[in-house]
Amino acid sequence: MNEQMWERVLYNFKVVSEIPRETGNEKGISDYLVGFAKKNDLEVVQDKELNVIIKKNGTEGYESSQPVIIQGHMDMVCVKDNDVDIDFSKNPIDIYFDKDRLTARGTSLGADNGIALAYAMTILESDELKHPPLEVLFTTGEEVGMDGAAVIEPEDFKGKMLINIDSEEEGKILTSCAGGITSTIKLPIKWKPAKNKYVPCLISISGLMGGHSGIEIHKGRANAIKLMGRILSSVRHNMKMRIVKVEGGSKRNAIPVEAQATVMVESPDLLEREIGGFYQIVQKEYLSADPNIKIDAAPLEKGKVKKVMTAKTANRLTALITLIPDGVQTMHRDIEGLVQSSNNVGILSIDDTQVSIVNCIRSSSASLKRDMVDRLEKLAYLTSSEVESFNDYPEWEYQKESLLRDKCVEAYESLYEKKPEITAIHAGLECGMLGARLDGLDMVSIGPDIFDAHTTRESVSVSSAKRTFEFLIKILEQIVQP
């Protein structure tokens, strides 16, 4: 691969970074990809979910080979630092180079999964590369439940090999992943008038590392929502307190980095001392895993709060937040170090009628996934709440025999004179959904080193991204099927 082609990958990544593509707002990027295909005289299909399929003939010597599917998703998780002024529905991502890292100023980068778009676009527009016929699939809604992948039509594809470009560690070839489901617990709220003798105060948690709830769930990082539940329970045991509002998290599949609670207390000074004592405990607990946690309490302007939760509602709320399972639940018995099942308490929100707690459940076992939903349903029953489950997507099971996997290993060894790692991932990939939609798919997932996805620290190693692109090109050169 020449340097000019690599520069084209970086250019294409910059282009897609300038197009708003937060999950649910993919029309702009979807339409751009359609225009890109037409500009390059390529066959293109855009379906009702705005998925885009672009097809390209095989190059000389590869014309009669079976098509290969290259796949990535066009949406991204959009998060920002509090002091960053950006409208993700209109503004581009401000990307820049920091030595070997490509990152963004104050926001998530979107390398998950913009890197797949940049790779595929560069291959599609090139006249130099050798490859079999290609069916490039760009999906929508991956970050909220793989909505696009769930509706693809089998008749749009002839290929039986699929290369997913949505993993985040170079040198690893993924061959299976977890399935998942989103379960939201809804607790009805009963209110009562606030008493004037109580002072409103704001409790805030910030500074957490957060991270991807699949890839980084095993790192033991703090969950701001769960910490807030502990704080509220602890304070209510030691002093009189009324709860007005509790909120935290922004994405179901990102470990929450912030949470806030508005409460009413008789003594703000006593509350600050209670919070200070709890903060010292948390600092010790997360000294290594999450060292920059901040917990503050401060009084607010009097007279603004007109109502508070009843004691029964507050009891049920604190019970829910503290008792909902969070983090790793089971480890895989056959694959050392692999998380089998987990839950991420991702979003806590409130309105006049209810508190909603959104949970992102993952498991490579369908029965264990169902068991976690069942536990949430029982917890909801005990607290007079309801559970709504949706975005249920299947796991991707390991195949003992895989020609594509063998070809990938050969390509990797020919480039680097060492074997890649064949492994699995706890995060959800679209391979499970695509495998359910397209019978008989032989699949792998690859990708460069991406760090801190779904956070404002997200970055991608430029040298790793370049090597992974070379690896993808080599795979396509060596896949010659009858």
Distances (CA, A) of 175 to 3, 71, 229, 425: 31, 15, 38, 8
Distances (CA, A) of 475 to 74, 404, 405, 409, 437: 23, 9, 10, 9, 24
174 and 309 part of one domain: no
359 and 413 part of one domain: no
How many CB atoms are located within 10 Å of the residue 291 CB?
Answer: 10
Question: Along the 482 residues of the chain, how does pLDDT read in single tens digits?
Answer: 789 999 999 999 999 999 999 999 999 999 999 999 999 999 999 999 999 999 999 999 999 999 999 999 999 999 999 899 999 999 999 999 999 999 999 999 999 999 999 999 999 999 999 999 999 999 999 988 899 999 999 999 999 999 999 999 999 999 999 999 999 999 999 999 999 899 999 999 999 999 989 989 999 999 999 999 999 999 999 999 999 999 999 989 899 999 999 999 999 999 999 999 999 999 999 999 999 999 999 999 988 899 999 999 999 999 999 999 999 999 988 788 899 999 999 999 999 999 999 999 999 999 999 999 999 999 999 999 999 999 898 999 888 899 999 999 999 999 999 999 999 999 889 999 999 999 999 999 999 999 999 889 999 999 999 999 999 999 999 987 65
38 and 94 part of one domain: yes
385 and 399 part of one domain: no
Q: Name the domain boundary from 367, 393, 419.
A: 393
429 and 371 part of one domain: no
Q: What is the CATH number of the domain that holds 366?
A: 3.30.70.360
Is 153 assigned a catalytic role?
no
User: Which structural domain range is residue 382 located in?
Assistant: 181-393
Q: What is the CATH number of the domain that holds 174?
A: 3.40.630.10
Q: Name the domain boundary from 393, 423, 457.
A: 393
pLDDT for 448 equals 98
The DSSP 8-state label assigned to residue 91 in this structure reads P
Which of 75, 135, 392, 452 is labelled catalytic?
Answer: 75
Cα separation, 55 vs 45, in Å, equals 9
Task: Tell me how many domains the chain contains.
Answer: 2
315 and 460 part of one domain: no
342 and 406 part of one domain: no
- Residue 33: closest CA among 91, 77, 72: 72
Which of 26, 112, 135, 142 is labelled catalytic?
Answer: 142
Q: Name the domain boundary from 346, 375, 393.
A: 393
Distances (CA, A) of 358 to 190, 233, 292, 355: 20, 20, 25, 10
200 and 314 part of one domain: yes
Cα separation, 277 vs 296, in Å, equals 11
Contacts of 167 (CB under 8 A, 6+ apart): 174, 425, 429, 445, 446, 447
374 and 470 part of one domain: no
324 and 294 part of one domain: yes
pLDDT for 303 equals 84
172 and 191 part of one domain: no
Is 274 assigned a catalytic role?
no
pTM of the model: 0.78
99 and 140 part of one domain: yes
